[in-house]
């Protein structure tokens, strides 16, 4: 309870937020009666962090290896009609960074944003490599509070002094020219009131040098299902009564591959005849080093007065959001 009182006392002042940076609060909170010894240098850091403009990063950080890890994580949302028409298709993404940088470096970060690259092309600053690459029109984006929004509005450049450790730099959304990682073609036929046959074909639409993992396809079946006879070209599939679906799991799905599920479902006789509502097929997957939106990291430049070199590591992961196909 004492800790809660201290948190409220330091983060709020007359009902207004005062200190919201976690690192600054962590240094300032004394954990109730168990007070940690505070050195004079720490007191100076506390003062600069509380009153300064960069309260999300401590001064005096030193690392033997200066490294930055960048994860571009995307979720693909798809709703496809039973006739094959796409009813909704968009991609939401986030850029997560983990920094181990010495000092107080300034970073400049850029994606293949269409507005930024068109501006560089008009001013003659665009490289020959960038001219050959695809641009992406980002609909909207939000940033971590370390990003200088004034420079982004005027120059379309993402400039910031990064927090130490892991943080989410930005979120974005793309709704045009989405490349779907999987194509699913279902064929369901009801044979009277006693049997339903399923033929589901899944095709990976990404390059052969990539692969998807943890692929799960949930094919709904009527609630009065009695028995199933299932055949699959890869992975394992079984009827799970609690989910009222045939669940098809594939650990690894190579790019360009195509697999088929065939199932015969025997139905129990019911006293009340009720039409099957046919819920949509749902899809889950993870694809590494692939983005459905086409977004990629153009560069990350690190500037520090000491002039050290920072290693950069970039990883792309695309996951299924609400990936559904009506039947």
Residue-wise pLDDT tens for the chain (327 aa)?
A: 677 777 777 777 777 776 666 666 676 676 654 444 544 445 445 544 455 568 888 888 999 999 999 999 999 999 999 998 999 999 999 999 999 999 999 999 999 998 888 887 777 776 766 666 789 999 889 999 999 998 888 888 899 999 999 999 999 999 999 999 999 999 999 988 889 999 999 999 999 999 999 999 999 999 999 999 999 999 999 999 999 999 999 999 999 999 999 999 999 988 777 888 999 999 999 999 999 999 999 999 999 999 999 999 999 999 999 999 999
Residues in a beta bridge with 16: 13
Q: DSSP states of 7-37 as a string? A: HHHHHEETTEE----HHHHHHH---TT-PPP
Do residues 6 and 30 lie in contact, with contact meaning Cβ atoms separated by under 8 Å? yes
Percentages of the chain per state (helix, strand, coil), in multiples of 5: 15, 45, 35
* Cβ contact 1:33 at 8 Å: no
Residues 6+ apart with CB under 8 A from 166: 96, 97, 98
Residues forming a β-bridge with 204: 182
Predicted TM-score (pTM) of the model is 0.81
């Amino acid at each position: 309870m004492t800790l809660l009182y201290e948190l409220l006392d330091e983060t709020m002042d007359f009902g207004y937020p005062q200190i919201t940076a976690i690192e600054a609060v962590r240094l300032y909170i004394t954990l109730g009666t168990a007070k940690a010894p505070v050195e004079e240098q720490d007191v100076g850091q506390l003062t600069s962090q509380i009153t300064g403009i960069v309260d999300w990063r401590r001064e005096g950080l030193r690392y033997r290896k200066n490294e930055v890890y960048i994860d571009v994580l995307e979720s693909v949302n798809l709703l496809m009609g039973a006739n094959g028409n796409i009813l909704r298709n968009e991609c939401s993404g986030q850029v997560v960074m983990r920094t181990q940088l010495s000092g107080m470096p300034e970073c400049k970060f850029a994606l293949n944003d269409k507005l930024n690259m068109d501006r560089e092309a008009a001013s003659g600053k665009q490289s020959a490599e960038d001219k050959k690459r695809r641009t992406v029109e980002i609909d909207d984006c939000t940033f971590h509070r370390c990003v200088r929004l004034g420079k982004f509005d005027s120059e379309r450049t993402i400039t910031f002094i990064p927090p130490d450790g892991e943080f989410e730099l930005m979120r974005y959304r793309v709704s045009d020219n989405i490349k779907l990682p999987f194509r699913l073609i279902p064929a369901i036929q009801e044979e009277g009131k006693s049997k339903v046959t399923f033929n589901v074909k899944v095709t990976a639409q990404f390059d052969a040098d990539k692969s998807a993992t943890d692929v799960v396809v949930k094919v709904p079946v009527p609630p009065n299902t009695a028995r199933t006879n299932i055949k699959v070209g890869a992975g394992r599939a079984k009827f799970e009564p609690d989910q009222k679906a045939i669940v098809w799991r594939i650990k690894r799905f190579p790019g360009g591959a195509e697999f088929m599920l065939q199932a015969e479902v025997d139905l129990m006789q019911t006293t009340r005849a009720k039409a099957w509502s046919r819920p949509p097929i749902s899809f889950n997957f993870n694809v590494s080093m692939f983005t459905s939106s086409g977004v990629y990291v153009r560069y990350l430049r690190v500037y520090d007065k000491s002039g050290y070199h920072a290693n950069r590591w970039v990883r792309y992961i695309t996951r299924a959001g609400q990936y559904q196909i009506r039947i």
